């Protein structure tokens, strides 16, 4: 029985990995198409309207833009798979290097925001569900909805005004030059809060509604019929079930969170993927846009993969549905 179980799980992981790879390939084709088929002359848009025809011709040959589409697509795949995302047309640096230098900022910001929202949102959601209809439940509902409705960059601007400019408590703009940990941590506080605020409310609402649903399930009634304490029922029997929809939504929300991180980075003048893409777009620096977006896609897909796998670690029924089913 246990062996069967492990095999089922392996099968699930394998099928999930395969879809992940397919999604990344799909994204690559799409990105390639976007830059290859974008209307307008790439040489003109990159070199400017004043470039001489000879220069444009040489540029096009150098970039391989005169080759047929399938050859270019093939080359693009080959390059990406060997870790070559092209060259920044302005600075001449490899795009991989540019992305790698800013990626940690975005990743750390996003994950500390998720961590903070889970840490605060889950207990708030449980409290609201177990104190349904109380004054704290009502207030929480109100505040959560308000936070969800306001975009994170607006919260970022408010935090910036209040804490950095008005109260002058925290250093805010940019990152610490020295890379010193404490200083950097303090500079992270406001961006993390700005990014997490909506998510705290969102997770609190989500956990509340899933908890309420789970608490009405027959198996909770069974637990009550056997006199198990409300604490055990809430934190063990109900919370684990309520986590499943929460994790699913979290996985889907990662994309939105990354999008929010981009704007928050710009407000706080922090380095990161957001600023990189923003600047590259305004300079029509296509290789950088392409490379950075591809990295974001991979990040998104990998996080979703992790979420899905953790989901199956919690819920034994998912492991089964992909396998051939255990004997009953």
Binding to other proteins by residue 37, rule CB under 8 A?
no
Binding to other proteins by residue 167, rule CB under 8 A?
no
Binding to other proteins by residue 1, rule CB under 8 A?
yes
Distance CA 188, CA 196 (A): 12
- Indicate the DSSP class of residue 166: I
Inter-residue contact 311 to 318 (CB < 8 Å):
yes
Binding to other proteins by residue 134, rule CB under 8 A?
no
Build a one-symbol-per-residue string for 199-228: x at contacts with other proteins by CB under 8 A, - elsewhere: ------------------xxxxxxxxxxxx
Q: Which stretch binds other proteins (CB under 8 A): 20-28, 112-120, 165-173, 234-242?
A: 234-242
Of 284 and 320, the one with the shorter C-beta distance to other proteins is: 320
Minimum distance between the CB of residue 314 and other proteins, rounded to whole angstroms? 7
Of 2 and 178, the one with the shorter C-beta distance to other proteins is: 2
Binding to other proteins by residue 237, rule CB under 8 A?
yes
Binding to other proteins by residue 240, rule CB under 8 A?
yes
Minimum distance between the CB of residue 238 and other proteins, rounded to whole angstroms? 9
Binding to other proteins by residue 328, rule CB under 8 A?
yes
Task: Using the CB atoms, write b or e for 35-54: b if 16+ within 10 Å.
Answer: beeeeeebbeebeeeeeeee
Of 155 and 238, the one with the shorter C-beta distance to other proteins is: 238
Distance CA 289, CA 298 (A): 14
Among 19, 134, 138, 229, binds other proteins (CB under 8 A): 229
Minimum distance between the CB of residue 219 and other proteins, rounded to whole angstroms? 4
Please provide the DSSP assignment of 205-227 as one string: HHHHHHHHHHHTSHHHHHHHHTT
Minimum distance between the CB of residue 185 and other proteins, rounded to whole angstroms? 36
Distances in whole angstroms, Cα of residue 53 to Cα of each of 24, 36, 60, 253, 312: 37, 20, 10, 47, 58
Distance CA 55, CA 274 (A): 32
Maximum distance among all Cα pairs of the chain, rounded to whole angstroms: 85
Inter-residue contact 262 to 48 (CB < 8 Å):
no
Of 37 and 328, the one with the shorter C-beta distance to other proteins is: 328
Positive or negative: CA dihedral 99, 102, 107, 113: negative
Distance CA 105, CA 119 (A): 21
Minimum distance between the CB of residue 323 and other proteins, rounded to whole angstroms? 11
Minimum distance between the CB of residue 207 and other proteins, rounded to whole angstroms? 16
Minimum distance between the CB of residue 74 and other proteins, rounded to whole angstroms? 47
Binding to other proteins by residue 2, rule CB under 8 A?
yes
Cβ-in-10-Å burial (0-12, 13-18, 19+) of 178 comes to exposed
Distance CA 59, CA 159 (A): 46
Among 107, 315, 322, 323, binds other proteins (CB under 8 A): 315
Minimum distance between the CB of residue 210 and other proteins, rounded to whole angstroms? 13
Minimum distance between the CB of residue 8 and other proteins, rounded to whole angstroms? 11
Distance CA 184, CA 290 (A): 29
Interface with other proteins: number of residues (CB under 8 A): 28
Binding to other proteins by residue 286, rule CB under 8 A?
no
Phi/psi-derived region of residue 16, left when phi > 0, alpha when psi is between -120 and 50, beta in every other case: alpha
Site residues (vs other proteins, CB under 8 A): 1-2, 217-229, 232, 236-237, 240-241, 314-317, 320, 326-328
């Amino acid at each position: 029985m246990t062996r069967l179980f492990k095999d089922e799980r392996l099968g699930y992981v394998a099928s999930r990995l395969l879809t992940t790879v397919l999604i990344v390939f799909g994204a690559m084709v799409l990105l390639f198409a976007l830059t290859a088929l974008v209307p307008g002359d790439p040489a003109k848009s990159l070199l400017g309207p004043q470039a001489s025809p000879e220069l444009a011709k040489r540029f096009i040959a150098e970039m391989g833009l005169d080759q047929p589409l399938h050859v270019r697509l093939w080359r693009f795949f080959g390059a990406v798979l060997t870790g070559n995302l092209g060259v920044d047309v302005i600075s001449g640096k490899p795009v991989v290097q540019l992305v790698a230098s800013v990626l940690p900022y975005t990743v750390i910001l996003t994950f500390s925001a998720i961590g903070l929202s889970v840490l605060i949102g889950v207990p708030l959601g449980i409290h609201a569900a177990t104190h349904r209809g109380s004054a704290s439940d009502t207030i929480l509902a109100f505040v959560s909805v308000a936070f969800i409705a306001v975009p994170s960059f607006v919260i970022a601007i408010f935090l910036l005004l209040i804490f950095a400019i008005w109260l002058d408590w925290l250093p805010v703009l940019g990152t610490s030059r020295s890379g010193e940990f404490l200083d950097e941590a303090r500079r992270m506080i406001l961006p993390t809060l700005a990014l997490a605020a909506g998510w705290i409310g969102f997770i609190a609402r989500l956990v509340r509604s899933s908890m309420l649903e789970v608490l009405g399930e027959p198996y909770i009634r069974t637990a009550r019929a056997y006199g198990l304490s409300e604490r055990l029922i809430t934190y063990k029997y109900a919370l684990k079930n309520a986590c499943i929809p929460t994790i699913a939504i979290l996985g889907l929300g990662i994309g939105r969170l990354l999008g929010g991180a981009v704007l928050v980075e710009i407000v706080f003048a922090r380095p990161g993927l957001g600023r990189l893409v923003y600047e590259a777009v305004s300079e029509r620096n296509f290789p950088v846009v392409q490379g950075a977006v591809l990295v974001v896609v991979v990040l998104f897909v990998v996080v979703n993969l992790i979420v899905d796998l953790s989901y199956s670690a919690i819920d034994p029924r998912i492991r089964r549905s992909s396998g051939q089913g255990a004997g009953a």
